[in-house]
Amino acid sequence: MTTPPPGFPPHSPYGDQPPGNPRGSAGPYPPGSFPPPGGHPPSGGHPPSAPLVRRIPEDQPFVVRPNITKRGLTFLGVALLLIVPIACCIGAGVMGSADSGSGALLGFLGLLGCLLAVICLPLGIQLWLIGSGGPVLALGPAGLWIRTRPTRGQAIWLPWEGIAQISRRRWSLEKMLVVKPRDTRALQNLGAYTALDSAGLSAFYGSGLVATLNFADKSEAEILAAVAHFSAGRCPLV
């Protein structure tokens, strides 16, 4: 029995038992594990591909969504750090020139506007992609849903018994919850773009399955408490 996060009742580490596979009896899944949502028991002894959806279901017991306001303010601060020094240098040059006047001022303002567009437009598009993809993580007694790409809604489901380790990693301004599956074959056939994103994330965090901790609508402590509660010791949290 683990201490649940605020707002969630305690439950047995075995969770609710799926029909036809009571605890202690033989079945295709370990005690406390549900079949993948909408799935059926695997056959032939080969690990099935992880269930894939276009968007994480929002009817799960614990759902984590991106905090676009917090991320947007951080992006704005980064953009200002890049723009202000350049603008100051150009402004000093314009004001110090002999022919400084309305024309030079308009030119400076136009150049400043171009800088803002070049830096802020890609950041704005990234914010829209992150926000429009729905939740980044969802937890339940049987397993978790997690995005396969940070800027897309596509997500997979993994049972707690199928997770080798859950850890925290930081890179630059981002702090991530990193999920490592026991069998990487479960992540096959997710598409070329997903494979490319996964390779980059693996280089920084050690796995292609990550969810933000510091730019989420819930605190890091709440997320970690929920992971510990719902996993109930079936996978290590380090």
pLDDT tens per residue across span 18-41: 333 434 333 333 333 344 444 444
Over residues 192-232, the pLDDT tens digits come to 777 777 777 777 888 889 999 999 999 999 999 999 999 99
**Residue linked to tokens 């020094």:** 85
Alpha helices in the chain (DSSP H): 68-96, 102-132, 192-205, 220-231
Q: What is the DSSP secondary-structure string of 49-114?
A: PPPEESS--S-SSEEE-B-HHHHHHHHHHHHHHHHHHHHHHHHHHHHHSTT-SHHHHHHHHHHHHH
DSSP reduced 3-state for 177: strand
CA-based nearest residue to 23, from 37, 39, 38, 12: 12
Average pLDDT over residues 56-81: 91
- Mean pLDDT, the chain, rounded, equals 77
CB-based contact 238:209 (threshold 8 Å): no
Handedness of CA 218, 187, 56, 75 (dihedral sign): positive
pLDDT for 45 equals 47
Report the distance separating Cα 101 and Cα 178, nearest Å. 55
CB-based contact 160:142 (threshold 8 Å): yes
- Does pTM surpass 0.85? no
Average pLDDT over residues 161-187: 88
- How does residue 53 score in pLDDT terms, banded at 50, 70 and 90? confident
- How does residue 98 score in pLDDT terms, banded at 50, 70 and 90? low
For residue 142, the one-letter residue type is A
